[in-house]
Structure 1
Amino acid sequence: MTDSDIREVLVRATSDLAPPADLLARVRNGGRRRVVRRRAVLAAGVAGLAAVPFAVWRGTSAVEPEPPAAGDLGQDQAFLGRARDAWDGVAGMFGTEGRARVRWAGNTPAGPAALLSQPVRFDGGERQDLLGWVETAGGELRAVGSGQLVARGAVEPSALLLGRLRDVLVVADLGQPVELSEDFSFDAVGQLLRTWQPVVSDGGVSVRRVFPQLGRVGIAMRYGTKRVEIANLGEMQPATTSQVPQRIDRVLAGATALGGWDVTALAKYADTYGYQLNPDLTSWHVRGTLPDGRALVVQTVPGDDGARVFFFVGSGTPRYAGFVRPPGLLLHVRLAFPQGVVVGYLNATFRYRAAGGPWLPVTGDVVLLPAVADEVEVTPRGGQPFVTVV
């Protein structure tokens, strides 16, 4: 079919249609308006660029200028670049958005360190910021393996313990009032004693020497009613393969009245803002009834260097039974005469005697013995028996 044939077919198909007289003018005007609109959009885009003169354009995305980092290395671009490179190993586990911001970079007695924040986005679309640290280890910068997720644009205080002895404390308060307690003790009734002092920072970060925190972390930090997290605390904790439960709950045979008391629920007895290196230490919580019908609770509160032992008799007021060093599976508490002696050992069997008399067997791995008992033979499951004085 030729062009003439096609034209003739089209004419016949549209012979009954009458175009408006102004059709040509309207087509020309419509095209002119589209051109004008396109030029207006382009002009608005140029004006927008002029309104943000400091944006750095890379491809089709803009990166806002980064505020300068605080600290004596905050202007060292080579160090900031190395800090970001080290940080990428942690941030890469998330869906990152944009470049990490170095909030602080500085020298410490244990080598340079830096605090960074990174916008991240999760699969569900939720956006948060990841806060984390870079430290010096073996002469190289490396990211601390634990980051802190906060609301987008928010900051929360955090800290590091650096050095071979973990005696260099770096605290980022980021403008929030942080308090530090350098150690703790217990009073005559087993309550925790701490002295607090404000942390004074330079540029939102404080670097100070503390007592070595190896094997036991005595410091505590708080802001408001929250604990300041130590980002590398997990690296200081021992690996454990213990199959022993963290809390052993037992009810004494023949119990009729059961108290629900727990000393760790009392503010003056719990170390709310402190840190425990070994989170798997075993605690006991034993409930029962004394021969006179009063409810009894025996409880241990373990720490890295020992355990406090408490008991309740007839009320929710704790009585301190002393400090056991180191904490272990063996429990024995002598109550006021003639209430008796509570002895426990996970999955063990017992015999007891008084004043060198015959050994008498008892049932259960936690027992209430008569007050006259002064020696207990403990036979752990699959282990050798041993004798302890109670």
Structure 2
Amino acid sequence: MTPDNDLLERSLRHAVSDVDTPPDFTDRVLVGGRRRRFRRRAGMATAVAVVTVLVGGLAASTPAWLAGPDTTVPADPRMSEPTRGDLAKDSAFLDKVLSTWRAEGLVVNNMAPTAGKDCWQFTQPAHVHWAGTTPAGPAALVLQPIRNTPGTCDRVEPGSSTWLALIGTEPNDGAMHVLYTTGERSREVFAFGPKASTVLATEASGARGVSPKIDVGQDGTMTRRVQPLLFRDGVALHRIEAGAYVELDFVVTPELPDSQGRLKRHPLDMSLATQARYTGWPHKDWPRLRGALGGIHIPDDDGRRQLLRNALSQAGMTDPFNSPFEVDADWSVFAALPDGRTVGVTERYADSASHLYAVLFPGDKQSQEKLHRGEKVQQTVVYGGRTDQKAGHVLIRLPDKQGWILAAAGAVIRYRIGQQPWVPLGGEAALLPDDATEVQLSKQAAPGSDPVVTTIPLS
């Protein structure tokens, strides 16, 4: 745990010491904060219309409480509207919603951004904006104006806003709790319930379409399908099909594609959904593998990642939404090829899997710098398919008889051609001749044990 997380946990536990909440409430709130970098939310509807789209960029907004000194957000007009939804007349349910909000609301709000106990105070009575039946059970949206308490939180500027909270059933204990709160309309989109398969979006969020995941074609190109949102009583509800929700790929849009499948505006940054179905990236955990086999003129790791990202993007082999949260591999192999080009090999995450790519681009410094800046250069991209996570190595054959790229962290590599003697190689990555017929990997399973030798035929 980092010092910041440690401070957060201690402060939050102090904050809830006087509040009557379930024993595990603090831990459940903290779980979401530990993975904030991957949080993005989306809204969906019951109708499904599928369109393939290609767009770029991702928009984010500045919270009202960070916008500047003495910032005051105008009153939310929804505060004066009657409660909407099919449970709007259920007085017993509304009373339970408001009592839950009174017990837990300030605790959740104090998560942002310093977790001080007295950061916030409510300025008006709470109002149930919507109450209805969802695939995850009864739920409600509560609105309440709030302002920070001056002088108690170092990083919170003076100001006020109206917070919206989602209150519903927590799958872990089956009880009603405050699931999420937000002070930004653009983030009024939540995934909740068992396996986070229920998505709720307010009309005020601006969400109009959702893309649950990236589709990867047989040639490695990546596309998206966008489903439109339908709203009733100011809210869109959607239940995600089993197996379709992949958090790292999940985005929402403030518009629907045009007749050519294009979007003019950027996708929204939705950061408030649950981590219950967060899909870890099944990548090769090779943070120390650096296959520098010549041909590369970009010296730093970030520059090399950008070089590969730009090359794959130009070939249509990255997320069409071009999300800044898109995950790069922590390893790569670069090699000078016999014909003067340079190859870069890496993996990319999409659709719950890792995919292997090789990019053949010019070997001269000027061309590589142009590609690094995002300018187009002549290149060839080879798709190596989904990586086998159990194999412990990656292997891809290059076109034009340029050879094979092999990478295996912690391995000693040697190859041979036909029945000729084995040729030992140094390092954990290698460019093998195109006519190589076998390669061997030797790995030490444990200190003092005999190495495990794997022979791989090449064809």
Task: Give 2:273's aligned amino acid.
Answer: N
Q: Which among 211, 225, 232 is matched to residue 273 of structure 2?
A: 232
Structure 1 residue 91 corresponds to structure 2 residue 109: yes
Determine the structure 2 residue equivalent to 1:79: 96
The Cα offsets for residues 309-358 of structure 1, whole Å up to 9 and x where unpaired, read as 22222355351323215557522211014211111122332122333544
C-alpha separation in 2, matches of 1:324 and 1:243? 12
Q: Which among 115, 140, 157 is matched to residue 125 of structure 1?
A: 157
C-alpha separation in 2, matches of 1:336 and 1:366? 18
Structure 1 residue 252 corresponds to structure 2 residue 304: no
The Cα offsets for residues 11-39 of structure 1, whole Å up to 9 and x where unpaired, read as xxxxxxxxxxxxxxxxxxxxxxxxxxxxx
Query: Residues 230 and 236 of structure 2 are in contact (CA less than 8 Å); yes or no, is this contact kept in structure 1?
Result: yes
Per-residue deviation, 1:169: 2.6
Structure 1 residue 136 corresponds to structure 2 residue 136: no
The Cα offsets for residues 123-174 of structure 1, whole Å up to 9 and x where unpaired, read as 3524365554333124311233x65453xxxx11443334435433322342
Determine the structure 2 residue equivalent to 1:105: 131
TM-score (norm 2): 0.58
- State the aligned residue count: 319
Task: Give 2:349's aligned amino acid.
Answer: P
The Cα offsets for residues 220-242 of structure 1, whole Å up to 9 and x where unpaired, read as 422241335262342323689x9
Query: Residues 165 and 181 of structure 2 are in contact (CA less than 8 Å); yes or no, is this contact kept in structure 1?
Result: yes
Determine the structure 1 residue equivalent to 2:429: 366
User: Which structure is higher in RCO with an 8 Å CA cutoff and minimum separation 6?
Assistant: 2
Say which structure is richer in strand. Answer: 1
Give the number of the structure whose alpha-carbon radius of gyration is greater.
Answer: 1
* Deviates most, 340-349 or 176-185: 176-185
Q: CA distance change for structure 1 residues 116 and 81 in 2, over 3 Å: closer, same or farther?
A: closer
Question: SS of 1:364's equivalent?
Answer: coil
Query: Residues 161 and 170 of structure 1 are in contact (CA less than 8 Å); yes or no, is this contact kept in structure 2?
Result: yes
Structure 1 residue 196 corresponds to structure 2 residue 226: yes
Determine the structure 2 residue equivalent to 1:323: 385
Task: Give 1:135's aligned amino acid.
Answer: G
1:7-26 to 2 correspondences below 5 Å: none
Determine the structure 1 residue equivalent to 2:210: 180
Q: Which among 415, 440, 444 is matched to residue 352 of structure 1?
A: 415
Task: Give 1:387's aligned amino acid.
Answer: T
Structure 1 residue 343 corresponds to structure 2 residue 383: no
Q: CA distance change for structure 1 residues 184 and 92 in 2, over 3 Å: closer, same or farther?
A: closer
TM-score (norm 1): 0.67
Query: Residues 264 and 301 of structure 1 are in contact (CA less than 8 Å); yes or no, is this contact kept in structure 2?
Result: no
Determine the structure 1 residue equivalent to 2:84: 70
C-alpha separation in 2, matches of 1:147 and 1:318? 47
Query: Residues 396 and 404 of structure 2 are in contact (CA less than 8 Å); yes or no, is this contact kept in structure 1?
Result: yes
Q: CA distance change for structure 1 residues 254 and 220 in 2, over 3 Å: closer, same or farther?
A: closer
Question: What is the RMSD computed on CA atoms of the aligned residues?
Answer: 3.9
Task: Give 2:107's aligned amino acid.
Answer: G
